[in-house]
Amino acid sequence: MKDIIRLLDVGLEQLMTMVFKMGEVAKKALKISIKGFIDGKDSQEEMHEISEILTRMVVDVEDKAFELIVKYQPVASDLRIINSYMKIAYDFGRYGRYGLDISLTYKMVKKLRKRTITSELVQQILDKVVKMVIISIKALKQHNSELAKTLAPMETEVDKLHMTYFDELIQSSSIDKWSMADLLVVRYLERIADHTTYVGESIVYIVEGKKISLR
């Protein structure tokens, strides 16, 4: 029995490491897509490759999780951890998917004048969401549930900024294609912010055994 527990613990460590690596790739994906959009660089091909890597990594995490379940028939507390890591892997995959969407948005409008961000609100949302992604990954690595909980008020702020920007566009007398592209990107960023809170909820479940909502 002790050997089985030891082998399961080794497997859980391997699963955790796989998810950590996903987090780093997802963070890289988001930074590349945002930088490309701001600086006027077409990063679609690079982002497509990274998104595909993240998709494969999600499958690898799922395969590893099912392997642990089949081989070791883990108890409820271990199943909680395994299931949480599977959910986190999915959320990290969504970081990459929305990053790809951001790069595709730039590609659609890149023939226009050089990219500039005209709204301070857009920059605030960009900065806030990047910070949230970094916090979600840091909280996971540290198994820090209190840090994970700090994502809740940040997500609320992103929602408010998103709606404020939307209202700003509605009231504007002139809306150009870059403004519409910004709106799309802000929407993708808002969805990434949602997924950071899902990661936070999973971290709290792993550490404290409690199911909470951070949205």
Task: Render pLDDT for 127-163 as a digit per residue (tens, 0 to 9).
Answer: 999 999 999 999 999 999 999 999 999 999 999 999 9
Look up the domain containing 58 and give its range.
Answer: 2-208
Which of 12-16, 96-100, 113-117, 128-132 shows the lowest per-residue confidence on average (mean pLDDT)?
Answer: 113-117
Tens of pLDDT along 155-187?
999 999 999 988 888 887 666 777 788 888 999
| Number of domains observed in the structure of the chain | 1
Residue that is written with structure tokens 């600086």 in the block: 39
Residue 168 lies in a domain: yes
Residue 214 lies in a domain: no
Give residue 1's pLDDT band: very low, low, confident or very high (50, 70, 90): very low
Query: DSSP labels for 2-49?
Result: HHHHHHHHHHHHHHHHHHHHHHHHHHHHHHHHHHHHHHT---HHHHHH
Q: Residue 108: give its domain's CATH number.
A: 1.20.58.220
Residue 202 lies in a domain: yes
pTM of the model: 0.91
Residue 197 lies in a domain: yes
Residue 150 lies in a domain: yes
Sequence-distant (6+) residues with CB within 8 A of 153 are: none
Residue 213 lies in a domain: no
Residue 215 lies in a domain: no
Residue 85 lies in a domain: yes
